[in-house]
Amino acid sequence: MNDEVVEIIRGSGNVFADFGRPNAAVEQLKALLAAEIIGVMDVRPLTARKAEELTGIAAADFSRIRKTKLDRFTIDRLMTILGRLDQDVEVVVTVRPYHACADGITARP
C-alpha cells in the first residue's frame, strides 16, 4: 500500500473552467447539449445515418458529436438538432458576479 498523501480539490462543476479554458461556459453548454443528443441516439437507438434520415442533419455531424468534436457547432445548432430529434430544450440562465479569491484568481462562488 502506498502512504503517499493525495490532495483532493473540489471542482467548480465546469471542467473547462477548472482547466482555465477560454469560453468555458460555452464549451460546458455545448458538451451538455451534445451529451443529450448522444443520449437520444443511444435510447432510440439511432446510427448517424438513421439520425440524418430523421433530421436532415448530415450524418458526419452526428459522428462529430459522438466524438465530441464540437468546435464546428454553435449552441443554437445543437439545440436545433435536439429539436429535430423531437426534444424540447429549456434553458435557464443564472447570472452571478465573479469574486476574487485570496490568491487573486477570479472564481465563481
Domains of the chain: 15-107 (1.10.260.40)
Helix (H, G, I), strand (E, B) or coil at 74: coil
For the stretch 26-77, pLDDT in tens is 999 999 999 999 999 999 999 999 999 999 999 999 999 999 999 999 999 9
CB 57 within 8 A of CB 81: yes
What is the model's pLDDT at position 40? Answer: 97
pTM above 0.75, yes or no: yes
Q: Which residue carries 443528443 as its cell?
A: 37
